[in-house]
């Protein structure tokens, strides 16, 4: 039993503590830029508009016109004063950032 504890401790210490960070989606910067434009269109050209730097890739959806094709969905959060807005951008899985759709939803409990 003297051998088991040091071996287990060495194994735990040698294993990586955190998984490697996922690479940012190729269209993340475009989604942030488009988020600022969409929020300005939706809420007016308010100088208090802020866009969160984090872009989250959420599960994609199928193309309604062709179920064999899928769209990547990127989620961006924006803020205007005390208002919070979730924006989702749908990108075709092609070269470049081909924006196919977008949605904006005010995050509020009514």
pLDDT at 17: 54
pLDDT in tens, 39-73: 999 888 888 999 999 999 999 999 999 999 999 99
- Mean pLDDT taken over the chain: 86
List phi, psi (to 5°) of 54.
-75, 130
pLDDT at 11: 46
């Amino acid at each position: 039993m003297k051998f088991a504890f040091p071996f287990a401790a060495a194994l735990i210490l040698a294993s990586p503590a955190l998984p490697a960070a996922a690479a940012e989606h190729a269209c993340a910067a475009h989604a942030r830029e488009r988020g600022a434009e969409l929020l300005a269109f939706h809420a007016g050209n308010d100088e208090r508009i802020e866009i969160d730097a984090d872009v989250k890739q959420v599960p994609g959806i199928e193309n309604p016109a062709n179920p064999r094709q899928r769209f990547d969905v990127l989620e961006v959060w924006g803020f205007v004063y005390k208002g919070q807005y979730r924006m989702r951008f749908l990108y075709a899985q092609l070269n470049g950032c081909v924006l196919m759709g977008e949605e904006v939803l005010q995050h509020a409990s009514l």
